[in-house]
Amino acid sequence: MSTGVLASAISIIIVCIGVLGLILKRNLLLKLLSLNIVNTATILFFVLVVYSPGDRAPIDPSPGVQYADPLPQALVLTSIVINFGVLALSLLFTMVLVKRYHTLDLIKIEDFVRREFEEEKS
Amino acid sequence: MTALLVGVGSYVSAGILSLLFSRYRFWFSLLGWAGALTGASFGVSSFLGSGPLVGTLGRWGILGIEIVIDQTTLLFSGLVVILNIFTLVYLRGSKKGVFYCLYNFLLATTFSIAFSHDLFNLYVTIEFMSLVSILLIGYERKAYQIYAGAKYLIISSLAMSLYLIGLGLVYRAGGSLGISELARTVEGGTDLSISLGLCLMLTGLAVKGGVFLFSMWLPDAHSYSDTVVSALLSGMAIKSGLIGIIRVSEMLDWSQLLLVLGALTGIAGAIFALVSRKPKKILAHSTISQVGYILIGIGTGTPAGVLAASLHLFFHGLFKALLFLSVGAAGVGADDIDRARNLSVPLTSKVGLVVGSVSIMAIPPFNKYFSKTMLVEQVNQEWAWFAMLAIGLGTALYTLRLDWALIFEARTDWAGKNDFVVVVFALAVVLSSLLAWVILGSPEMVQLLSLHHLATYLVIPVVGGFALLLFKKKLSEISPPDFPFSLENSLVSLFTGFLLIELVLFVL
């Protein structure tokens, strides 16, 4: 088994760990951390899978030289930025919820939310 | 190409300007709408001139972003433009500049999804669309809206991670991101990594597109948010995932899988809509149910089937937005329909509700009739046909239940709160069935208006009405379950759905 396959298998295992944390943890902050683990491991996997070795960076085009594929870098940078945005936004939302209910326990929060919605309309 | 740049550019600049000069936010947004209308009409003229077109944005050859102009593109961008003008007039400056900024950004992203024919471009636009729509869901900062937004954020971020994993697998095997490029490479190949990658991508898009088991975030997010936001989310935002499924399904034959998913989505959505008691919840579940038809349309795999799905997507956007606006204008979105006698609904909203519900029940001269009969003509499996009949019956049941409460039982409020935008919008929805005639041409229309179709669609609501008379007491005793829609259970059901996809594709 080559190193690349082993590394991508490990990154998939990290994704699975993140998903398990996302499902099993009741704490909202831990859920967000697990989500971040999933996202980071996804990027790791993407880099490992798409990576194509070349002799040179694709800057100076001259014939006969094998260049590295420039596309994956652009894609990975974009998705890192998007994940950063998602994390910032979800932390903001968590902050609002914690300020309102003083708990991070998701099941309690869901309870409060349902009750509040019912009460507000009556 | 001009169409995309003009439309998106005018929406983005309208968004920024209405944030900076929030006094003139309405007028800037109106200008943005005019720009998008110009863009969409460029698209129409290019389509009429040279037919379906696949081009590349930028001068980098294979590295450029592939875009497409076909019937699906035009219908979806037209839907964005139409919903934009009616919701804008409905808003009439009632929100702050920030809201208008986000509103225009949402329109810009959905407008650009219509043209997207590139896997990574789809990823970026859909992700941006969901960030903006989450900010819009939580705009009023009520705790339940924040909760619904956070749930949507977590599930959709996970889904897009799955999409990215799939994208990596497909890019490695296909060596390109453009869908028509890839479709050539993939052609007929049964490479495991490609089909697994496409499965993961389908999962990601299904979470965005309101497919049952995948998007259990949808009912809360669509019913807790503000009226205009729910109308836009249900009308067009979830359609971006479906557009993605239409594009991705060009690469692989998924017909059996999409038919199964479509039937499941349609029937489950209808059942949940039937047991819900709040008008906005009913409408949100009904969105899931209608997505089932669109999936069945994509699943037929024929060009006519995909056209029927796009047409259904367009019509559904119109009448669902109309229903949300009429319920929201009356201010009864979160009331219990079993206690409708205490409510008062303005006359304009009642008109909107009548038009919206005859459309959703596919009564003959109204718009959904044409898209649905087109679908029925394309489906050739018998079980799928029966599934569509069941979805139709369920639709008739919950729509009639909603109408009975809000139109007959609720008092008519003659004086205040009448909003004539709703009536004009209802008129537009009625007229939109002419569009089916424009697209399909007369001979096809005559075929769709044949006697057995007419009889079927007139009988279904009548049967539904009688069934409702029988079961009304029983229905009001059932309280809708909340547990499938909590965050953890929706994550679990997402992976159940993923396993279902794998099962249908690789085992059966």
Whether A67 shows a pLDDT value over 80: the answer reads no
Give B293→chain A minimum CA distance, Å. 31
Q: What token pair was written down for B106?
A: 């949402």
Can you name the residues that pair with A67 across neighbouring β-strands? A56
- Measured CA to CA in angstroms, residue B426 lies from B87, B228, B280, B362, B445 at distances of 13, 16, 18, 15, 23
CB-CB contact of B114 with B73 (8 Å): yes
Give A9→chain B minimum CA distance, Å. 12
Q: Is B204 in the A-facing interface, judged by CB distances under 8 Å?
A: no
Q: Tell me whether residues A110 and B224 touch, CB distance under 8 A.
A: no
pLDDT, residue B504, reads 86
Q: Spell out, as residue ranges, where chain B has pLDDT lower than 50.
A: none
Q: Which helix (H) or strand (E) holds B411?
A: strand B411-413
Q: Which residues in B lie closer than 8 A to residue A107 (C-beta atoms)?
A: 486
Mind listing the domains of chain A with CATH numbers? Answer: 3-121 (1.10.287.3510)
- Measured CA to CA in angstroms, residue B219 lies from B24, B75, B196, B276, B458 at distances of 34, 25, 29, 10, 29
Spatial neighbors of B503 by CB under 8 A, at least 6 apart, are none
pLDDT, residue A1, reads 58
Give B117→chain A minimum CA distance, Å. 16
pTM recorded for the entire structure = 0.93
Give domain limits for chain B.
Answer: 133-507
Q: Tell me whether residues A93 and B171 touch, CB distance under 8 A.
A: no
Whether A7 shows a pLDDT value over 80: the answer reads yes
pLDDT, residue A30, reads 93
Secondary structure of residue A94 in the 3-state scheme = helix
Q: What is the pLDDT of residues B242-264, one digit of tens each?
A: 999 999 888 877 888 899 999 99
Q: Are strands B411-413 and B344-346 parallel, antiparallel or unpaired?
A: parallel
What string of DSSP letters covers B46-89? HHHHH-SEEEEESSSGGGSEEEEESHHHHHHHHHHHHHHHHHHH
pLDDT, residue B292, reads 93
Q: Tell me whether residues B146 and A97 touch, CB distance under 8 A.
A: yes
Alpha carbon distance B227, B229 (integer Å):
5
Q: What token pair was written down for B241?
A: 């995932």
Chain B 58-87, CB below 8 Å of chain A: which residues?
A: 63
Q: Is A114 in the B-facing interface, judged by CB distances under 8 Å?
A: yes
- Measured CA to CA in angstroms, residue B420 lies from B95, B230, B318, B350 at distances of 19, 19, 17, 11
pLDDT, residue B62, reads 65
Give A10→chain B minimum CA distance, Å. 14
- Helices B97-115 + B119-137 axis angle, to 10: 160
pLDDT, residue B180, reads 84
What is the predicted ipTM?
Answer: 0.93
Alpha carbon distance B288, B262 (integer Å):
10
pLDDT, residue B426, reads 92
Among candidates B143, B157, B168 on the partner chain, residue whose Cβ is nearest the Cβ of A49: B168
Span A62-80, average pLDDT: 80
Other Cβ atoms closer than 10 A to B30: 17
pLDDT, residue B249, reads 87
